[in-house]
Protein backbone atom coordinates (compact mmCIF):
# COMPACT_ATOMS: atom_id res chain seq x y z
CA UNK A 1 0.00 0.00 0.00
CA UNK A 2 1.27 3.49 -0.84
CA UNK A 3 -0.03 7.00 -1.50
CA UNK A 4 -0.98 6.79 -5.18
CA UNK A 5 -1.41 10.58 -5.29
CA UNK A 6 2.35 11.01 -4.87
CA UNK A 7 3.87 7.70 -6.02
CA UNK A 8 3.51 5.22 -8.84
CA UNK A 9 4.47 1.66 -7.93
CA UNK A 10 4.98 -1.59 -9.81
CA UNK A 11 6.34 -5.03 -8.97
CA UNK A 12 9.97 -5.41 -10.01
CA UNK A 13 10.59 -9.00 -8.89
CA UNK A 14 9.05 -11.68 -6.67
CA UNK A 15 11.00 -14.39 -4.89
CA UNK A 16 10.35 -17.09 -2.32
CA UNK A 17 11.30 -14.83 0.58
CA UNK A 18 10.97 -11.34 -0.86
CA UNK A 19 9.08 -8.98 -3.13
CA UNK A 20 10.64 -5.90 -4.74
CA UNK A 21 8.72 -2.84 -5.87
CA UNK A 22 9.80 0.04 -8.06
CA UNK A 23 8.49 3.47 -7.03
CA UNK A 24 8.64 6.78 -8.87
CA UNK A 25 7.14 10.15 -8.04
CA UNK A 26 4.53 11.72 -10.29
CA UNK A 27 7.15 13.93 -11.92
CA UNK A 28 9.29 10.85 -12.68
CA UNK A 29 12.27 12.66 -11.15
CA UNK A 30 12.94 10.32 -8.22
CA UNK A 31 12.96 6.54 -8.70
CA UNK A 32 13.75 4.05 -5.95
CA UNK A 33 13.20 0.39 -5.08
CA UNK A 34 11.85 -1.29 -1.96
CA UNK A 35 12.53 -4.94 -1.10
CA UNK A 36 10.31 -6.37 1.62
CA UNK A 37 11.38 -9.71 3.10
CA UNK A 38 10.40 -12.44 5.51
CA UNK A 39 13.56 -14.45 6.12
CA UNK A 40 13.70 -18.11 7.04
CA UNK A 41 14.28 -19.06 10.66
CA UNK A 42 16.94 -21.62 9.71
CA UNK A 43 20.51 -20.37 9.22
CA UNK A 44 21.16 -22.52 6.14
CA UNK A 45 17.92 -21.38 4.48
CA UNK A 46 18.77 -17.77 5.29
CA UNK A 47 21.74 -18.05 2.93
CA UNK A 48 19.16 -18.47 0.16
CA UNK A 49 17.49 -15.28 1.37
CA UNK A 50 20.73 -13.31 1.09
CA UNK A 51 21.33 -14.73 -2.40
CA UNK A 52 17.75 -13.91 -3.49
CA UNK A 53 18.00 -10.30 -2.33
CA UNK A 54 21.37 -9.90 -4.06
CA UNK A 55 19.88 -11.25 -7.30
CA UNK A 56 16.98 -8.78 -7.04
CA UNK A 57 19.45 -5.93 -6.54
CA UNK A 58 21.26 -6.92 -9.73
CA UNK A 59 18.18 -5.96 -11.76
CA UNK A 60 18.32 -2.23 -10.95
CA UNK A 61 20.52 0.61 -9.69
CA UNK A 62 19.88 3.69 -7.60
CA UNK A 63 18.30 4.28 -4.18
CA UNK A 64 17.18 1.08 -2.45
CA UNK A 65 15.47 0.18 0.82
CA UNK A 66 15.33 -3.33 2.32
CA UNK A 67 12.96 -3.99 5.20
CA UNK A 68 11.12 -6.76 7.02
CA UNK A 69 11.65 -9.62 9.45
CA UNK A 70 15.22 -10.86 8.97
CA UNK A 71 14.83 -13.53 11.67
CA UNK A 72 18.37 -12.91 12.89
CA UNK A 73 20.44 -10.23 14.60
CA UNK A 74 23.83 -8.64 13.93
CA UNK A 75 25.28 -8.44 17.44
CA UNK A 76 24.78 -10.16 20.81
CA UNK A 77 23.42 -6.88 22.23
CA UNK A 78 20.48 -7.15 19.83
CA UNK A 79 19.28 -10.33 21.52
CA UNK A 80 18.30 -10.54 25.17
CA UNK A 81 20.66 -12.53 27.41
CA UNK A 82 22.96 -13.28 24.45
CA UNK A 83 26.72 -13.03 25.00
CA UNK A 84 28.17 -15.00 22.06
CA UNK A 85 28.86 -13.74 18.54
CA UNK A 86 27.48 -16.47 16.25
CA UNK A 87 28.10 -17.48 12.65
CA UNK A 88 24.56 -16.35 11.77
CA UNK A 89 25.38 -12.85 13.00
CA UNK A 90 28.58 -12.77 10.96
CA UNK A 91 26.76 -13.88 7.79
CA UNK A 92 24.09 -11.22 8.25
CA UNK A 93 26.72 -8.50 8.73
CA UNK A 94 28.65 -9.75 5.69
CA UNK A 95 25.46 -9.57 3.60
CA UNK A 96 24.84 -5.95 4.67
CA UNK A 97 28.41 -4.94 3.81
CA UNK A 98 28.44 -6.81 0.49
CA UNK A 99 25.22 -5.10 -0.59
CA UNK A 100 26.54 -1.67 0.43
CA UNK A 101 23.65 -1.14 2.83
CA UNK A 102 23.47 1.16 5.84
CA UNK A 103 22.07 -0.22 9.09
CA UNK A 104 20.21 2.70 10.67
CA UNK A 105 20.19 3.36 14.39
CA UNK A 106 16.98 2.18 16.07
CA UNK A 107 15.16 4.70 18.26
CA UNK A 108 12.51 4.05 20.89
CA UNK A 109 13.79 0.69 22.14
CA UNK A 110 16.27 -2.15 21.67
CA UNK A 111 14.08 -5.06 20.57
CA UNK A 112 11.38 -5.36 17.90
CA UNK A 113 10.22 -8.87 18.87
CA UNK A 114 9.29 -10.00 22.38
CA UNK A 115 7.90 -13.23 23.73
CA UNK A 116 7.38 -15.09 26.98
CA UNK A 117 6.52 -14.06 30.51
CA UNK A 118 7.88 -10.57 31.23
CA UNK A 119 9.38 -10.66 27.72
CA UNK A 120 12.26 -12.87 28.81
CA UNK A 121 12.83 -13.65 25.10
CA UNK A 122 13.47 -10.60 22.92
CA UNK A 123 15.50 -9.63 19.85
CA UNK A 124 15.84 -7.04 17.12
CA UNK A 125 14.57 -9.11 14.20
CA UNK A 126 12.94 -6.30 12.19
CA UNK A 127 14.74 -3.37 10.63
CA UNK A 128 15.21 -1.06 7.66
CA UNK A 129 18.42 -1.13 5.63
CA UNK A 130 19.08 1.60 3.07
CA UNK A 131 21.56 1.92 0.23
CA UNK A 132 24.31 4.54 0.27
CA UNK A 133 22.48 6.46 -2.48
CA UNK A 134 19.41 6.70 -0.25
CA UNK A 135 21.47 7.69 2.79
CA UNK A 136 23.17 10.48 0.83
CA UNK A 137 19.85 11.80 -0.51
CA UNK A 138 18.07 11.82 2.85
CA UNK A 139 20.36 13.14 5.57
CA UNK A 140 17.84 13.05 8.42
CA UNK A 141 16.66 9.43 8.21
CA UNK A 142 15.26 8.05 11.44
CA UNK A 143 14.18 4.50 12.26
CA UNK A 144 11.98 4.07 15.31
CA UNK A 145 9.83 1.48 17.07
CA UNK A 146 6.07 2.04 17.32
CA UNK A 147 3.72 0.64 19.94
CA UNK A 148 2.66 -3.01 19.68
CA UNK A 149 -1.05 -3.87 19.76
CA UNK A 150 -1.62 -7.60 19.21
CA UNK A 151 1.45 -8.96 17.41
CA UNK A 152 4.61 -10.07 19.20
CA UNK A 153 6.48 -7.88 16.68
CA UNK A 154 6.63 -4.10 17.12
CA UNK A 155 6.04 -2.00 13.99
CA UNK A 156 9.13 -0.15 12.80
CA UNK A 157 8.82 3.19 11.00
CA UNK A 158 11.39 4.95 8.85
CA UNK A 159 11.20 8.73 8.52
CA UNK A 160 13.22 10.44 5.81
CA UNK A 161 13.21 13.93 7.31
CA UNK A 162 10.50 16.58 7.21
CA UNK A 163 12.23 18.75 4.61
CA UNK A 164 12.50 15.81 2.23
CA UNK A 165 8.82 15.03 2.82
CA UNK A 166 7.93 18.63 1.92
CA UNK A 167 10.12 18.44 -1.20
CA UNK A 168 8.44 15.21 -2.34
CA UNK A 169 4.96 16.64 -1.85
CA UNK A 170 5.86 19.91 -3.55
CA UNK A 171 7.23 18.18 -6.63
CA UNK A 172 4.14 15.94 -6.85
CA UNK A 173 1.81 18.94 -7.35
CA UNK A 174 1.26 19.82 -10.98
CA UNK A 175 -0.59 22.71 -12.62
CA UNK A 176 -0.12 25.22 -15.43
CA UNK A 177 -0.48 28.99 -15.51
CA UNK A 178 1.34 32.10 -14.40
CA UNK A 179 4.17 31.64 -11.87
CA UNK A 180 2.20 33.40 -9.11
CA UNK A 181 -0.81 31.16 -9.75
CA UNK A 182 1.36 28.01 -9.66
CA UNK A 183 2.91 29.14 -6.35
CA UNK A 184 -0.50 29.84 -4.79
CA UNK A 185 -1.84 26.50 -6.05
CA UNK A 186 1.09 24.53 -4.62
CA UNK A 187 0.94 26.34 -1.26
CA UNK A 188 -2.76 25.52 -0.97
CA UNK A 189 -2.20 21.87 -1.91
CA UNK A 190 0.71 21.64 0.52
CA UNK A 191 -1.45 23.01 3.33
CA UNK A 192 -3.90 20.12 2.89
CA UNK A 193 -1.02 17.63 2.91
CA UNK A 194 0.35 19.13 6.11
CA UNK A 195 -3.05 18.95 7.81
CA UNK A 196 -3.43 15.31 6.80
CA UNK A 197 0.11 14.51 7.95
CA UNK A 198 -0.45 16.24 11.27
CA UNK A 199 -3.56 14.17 11.97
CA UNK A 200 -2.44 10.76 10.70
CA UNK A 201 1.33 10.71 11.30
CA UNK A 202 2.02 13.18 14.08
CA UNK A 203 -1.28 12.52 15.81
CA UNK A 204 -2.69 14.40 18.76
CA UNK A 205 0.19 15.74 20.86
CA UNK A 206 -1.94 15.76 24.00
CA UNK A 207 -2.85 12.07 23.60
CA UNK A 208 0.78 11.16 22.83
CA UNK A 209 2.00 13.02 25.90
CA UNK A 210 -0.51 11.28 28.16
CA UNK A 211 0.46 7.89 26.73
CA UNK A 212 4.13 8.59 27.50
CA UNK A 213 3.27 9.72 31.04
CA UNK A 214 1.25 6.54 31.63
CA UNK A 215 4.22 4.39 30.57
CA UNK A 216 6.60 6.39 32.75
CA UNK A 217 4.23 5.98 35.70
CA UNK A 218 4.24 2.19 35.23
CA UNK A 219 8.05 2.09 35.17
CA UNK A 220 8.29 4.29 38.27
CA UNK A 221 5.85 1.99 40.09
CA UNK A 222 8.19 -0.90 39.28
CA UNK A 223 11.19 1.17 40.39
CA UNK A 224 9.61 1.70 43.81
CA UNK A 225 9.46 -2.08 44.33
CA UNK A 226 12.85 -3.04 42.89
CA UNK A 227 15.77 -1.82 40.82
CA UNK A 228 15.14 -1.49 37.10
CA UNK A 229 16.87 -3.91 34.77
CA UNK A 230 18.82 -2.78 31.71
CA UNK A 231 15.85 -2.92 29.33
CA UNK A 232 13.58 -0.97 31.71
CA UNK A 233 16.24 1.68 32.29
CA UNK A 234 16.73 2.07 28.54
CA UNK A 235 12.97 2.34 28.01
CA UNK A 236 12.63 4.97 30.73
CA UNK A 237 15.40 7.07 29.18
CA UNK A 238 13.81 6.77 25.73
CA UNK A 239 10.40 7.78 27.10
CA UNK A 240 11.85 10.83 28.84
CA UNK A 241 13.54 11.95 25.62
CA UNK A 242 10.32 11.31 23.70
CA UNK A 243 8.37 13.38 26.24
CA UNK A 244 10.86 16.26 25.91
CA UNK A 245 10.50 16.19 22.12
CA UNK A 246 6.71 16.07 22.44
CA UNK A 247 6.75 19.06 24.80
CA UNK A 248 8.94 20.99 22.36
CA UNK A 249 6.51 20.33 19.49
CA UNK A 250 3.56 21.39 21.64
CA UNK A 251 5.32 24.60 22.63
CA UNK A 252 6.17 25.47 19.02
CA UNK A 253 2.60 24.75 17.88
CA UNK A 254 1.11 27.11 20.44
CA UNK A 255 3.80 29.73 19.90
CA UNK A 256 3.05 29.80 16.18
CA UNK A 257 -0.66 30.15 16.85
CA UNK A 258 -0.20 32.86 19.46
CA UNK A 259 2.23 34.82 17.24
CA UNK A 260 4.28 35.84 20.27
CA UNK A 261 7.89 36.70 19.50
CA UNK A 262 9.30 37.68 22.85
CA UNK A 263 8.80 34.48 24.85
CA UNK A 264 11.73 32.16 24.23
CA UNK A 265 11.56 28.47 23.39
CA UNK A 266 12.23 26.27 26.38
CA UNK A 267 9.80 27.94 28.80
CA UNK A 268 7.21 25.21 28.17
CA UNK A 269 4.61 27.87 28.97
CA UNK A 270 1.91 26.37 26.75
CA UNK A 271 -0.92 27.63 28.99
CA UNK A 272 0.26 31.18 28.28
CA UNK A 273 0.35 30.49 24.55
CA UNK A 274 -3.12 28.93 24.77
CA UNK A 275 -4.58 32.00 26.46
CA UNK A 276 -2.85 34.37 24.04
CA UNK A 277 -3.98 32.47 20.95
CA UNK A 278 -7.56 32.39 22.17
CA UNK A 279 -7.35 36.08 23.07
CA UNK A 280 -6.27 36.87 19.49
CA UNK A 281 -9.22 34.88 18.20
CA UNK A 282 -11.72 36.65 20.47
CA UNK A 283 -10.26 40.09 19.71
CA UNK A 284 -10.37 39.61 15.93
CA UNK A 285 -13.87 38.14 15.91
CA UNK A 286 -16.76 40.37 14.71
CA UNK A 287 -20.05 38.94 15.95
CA UNK A 288 -22.17 42.06 15.35
CA UNK A 289 -21.96 45.28 13.34
CA UNK A 290 -23.84 48.57 13.54
CA UNK A 291 -24.90 49.87 10.11
CA UNK A 292 -27.01 53.03 9.81
CA UNK A 293 -28.07 52.74 13.47
CA UNK A 294 -29.17 49.13 12.93
CA UNK A 295 -27.40 46.14 14.46
CA UNK A 296 -26.44 43.36 12.04
CA UNK A 297 -25.72 39.97 13.63
CA UNK A 298 -26.10 37.49 10.76
CA UNK A 299 -22.63 36.38 9.57
CA UNK A 300 -23.48 36.66 5.86
CA UNK A 301 -24.97 40.14 6.34
CA UNK A 302 -21.89 41.24 8.31
CA UNK A 303 -19.63 40.01 5.51
CA UNK A 304 -21.72 41.76 2.86
CA UNK A 305 -21.77 45.08 4.76
CA UNK A 306 -17.99 45.04 5.29
CA UNK A 307 -17.35 44.39 1.60
CA UNK A 308 -19.84 47.10 0.60
CA UNK A 309 -18.24 49.63 2.97
CA UNK A 310 -14.74 49.21 1.58
CA UNK A 311 -15.93 49.10 -2.02
CA UNK A 312 -17.56 52.51 -1.54
CA UNK A 313 -14.55 53.79 0.39
CA UNK A 314 -12.12 53.12 -2.45
CA UNK A 315 -14.33 54.36 -5.27
CA UNK A 316 -13.17 57.82 -6.28
CA UNK A 317 -15.58 60.20 -7.99
CA UNK A 318 -13.16 63.09 -8.50
CA UNK A 319 -11.38 63.31 -11.85
CA UNK A 320 -9.09 66.16 -10.75
CA UNK A 321 -5.51 65.29 -9.89
CA UNK A 322 -2.95 67.51 -8.17
CA UNK A 323 -0.03 68.52 -10.36
CA UNK A 324 3.53 69.23 -9.40
CA UNK A 325 6.21 71.01 -11.40
CA UNK A 326 9.65 69.44 -11.04
CA UNK A 327 11.47 72.35 -12.71
CA UNK A 328 14.90 73.03 -11.14
CA UNK A 329 14.54 69.91 -8.96
CA UNK A 330 17.76 68.03 -8.20
CA UNK A 331 18.00 64.68 -9.97
CA UNK A 332 20.03 61.54 -9.45
CA UNK A 333 22.68 60.31 -11.83
CA UNK A 334 21.84 57.99 -14.70
CA UNK A 335 23.85 55.22 -12.97
CA UNK A 336 21.81 55.55 -9.77
CA UNK A 337 18.63 55.66 -11.81
CA UNK A 338 19.60 52.47 -13.62
CA UNK A 339 20.34 50.78 -10.30
CA UNK A 340 16.94 51.75 -8.89
CA UNK A 341 15.13 50.60 -12.02
CA UNK A 342 16.92 47.27 -12.26
CA UNK A 343 14.89 44.20 -11.17
CA UNK A 344 15.57 42.56 -7.84
CA UNK A 345 18.12 39.75 -8.07
CA UNK A 346 17.40 36.37 -6.40
CA UNK A 347 20.33 36.69 -3.92
CA UNK A 348 19.02 40.08 -2.76
CA UNK A 349 15.50 38.70 -2.29
CA UNK A 350 16.79 35.64 -0.45
CA UNK A 351 18.95 37.70 1.93
CA UNK A 352 15.94 39.83 2.89
CA UNK A 353 13.76 36.77 3.42
CA UNK A 354 16.36 35.20 5.72
CA UNK A 355 16.59 38.44 7.70
CA UNK A 356 12.90 38.24 8.65
CA UNK A 357 11.79 36.87 12.01
CA UNK A 358 10.64 33.29 11.52
CA UNK A 359 7.56 33.73 13.71
CA UNK A 360 6.20 36.88 12.10
CA UNK A 361 2.43 36.90 11.71
CA UNK A 362 1.44 34.57 8.84
CA UNK A 363 -0.01 36.05 5.67
CA UNK A 364 -3.18 35.02 3.88
CA UNK A 365 -1.57 31.69 2.98
CA UNK A 366 -1.16 30.97 6.75
CA UNK A 367 2.54 30.08 6.39
CA UNK A 368 5.05 31.64 8.78
CA UNK A 369 8.30 33.14 7.53
CA UNK A 370 10.11 30.19 9.13
CA UNK A 371 8.58 27.96 6.44
CA UNK A 372 10.00 30.06 3.59
CA UNK A 373 13.36 30.49 5.31
CA UNK A 374 13.76 26.72 5.71
> What pLDDT score was predicted for residue 37?
94
Which helix (H) or strand (E) is 290 found in, with range? strand 289-291
pLDDT tens for residues 337-348? 888 888 888 888
Domain map of the chain by residue range? 7-172, 205-283, 286-316, 339-374
Confidence class for position 260, pLDDT limits 50, 70, 90: very low
Window from 130-134, 192-196, 271-275 with minimum mean pLDDT: 271-275
Contact between 79 and 73 (Cβ < 8 Å)? yes
Q: Yes or no: say if 129 and 102 are a contact pair by the CB < 8 Å rule.
A: yes
128 has a pLDDT exceeding 70: yes
Task: Convert the pLDDT of each residue in 273-299 to its tens digit.
Answer: 666 666 666 667 787 888 888 888 888
pLDDT of 99: 92
Per residue in 3-58, pLDDT (tens digit) is: 676 678 899 999 999 999 998 876 666 788 999 999 998 989 999 999 999 999 99
191-200 average pLDDT score:
72
d(CA 127, CA 109): 12
> Given this model, what pLDDT does residue 284 score?
72
Which candidate, 72, 98, 95, places its Cα nearest to that of 85?
72
Cβ contacts of 51 within 8 Å, gap of 6 or more: none
Assess whether pLDDT exceeds 50 at residue 142. Answer: yes
pLDDT for position 310: 86
User: Does the pLDDT at position 217 exceed 60?
Assistant: yes
Q: Residue 238: what pLDDT?
A: 79
| Helices and strands of the chain, counted as H and E runs | 12, 13
Q: Which top CATH class is 7-172? A: alpha beta
Instruction: Please determine, for residue 185, whether its predicted confidence score (pLDDT) is greater than 60.
Output: yes
pLDDT at res. 263: 47
Amino acid sequence: MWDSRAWEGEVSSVGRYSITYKFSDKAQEFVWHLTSIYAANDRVERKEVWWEIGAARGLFTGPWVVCGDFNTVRYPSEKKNCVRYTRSMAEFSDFIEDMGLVDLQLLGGKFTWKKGTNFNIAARLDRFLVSEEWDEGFRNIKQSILHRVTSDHSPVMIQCGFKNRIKTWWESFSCTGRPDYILAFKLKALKEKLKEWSKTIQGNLKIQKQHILDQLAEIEDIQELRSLNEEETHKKTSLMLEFEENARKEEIAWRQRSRVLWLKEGDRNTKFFHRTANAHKRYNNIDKLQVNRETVENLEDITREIISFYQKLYIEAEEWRPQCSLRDCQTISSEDNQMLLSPFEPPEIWENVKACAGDKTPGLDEYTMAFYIQ
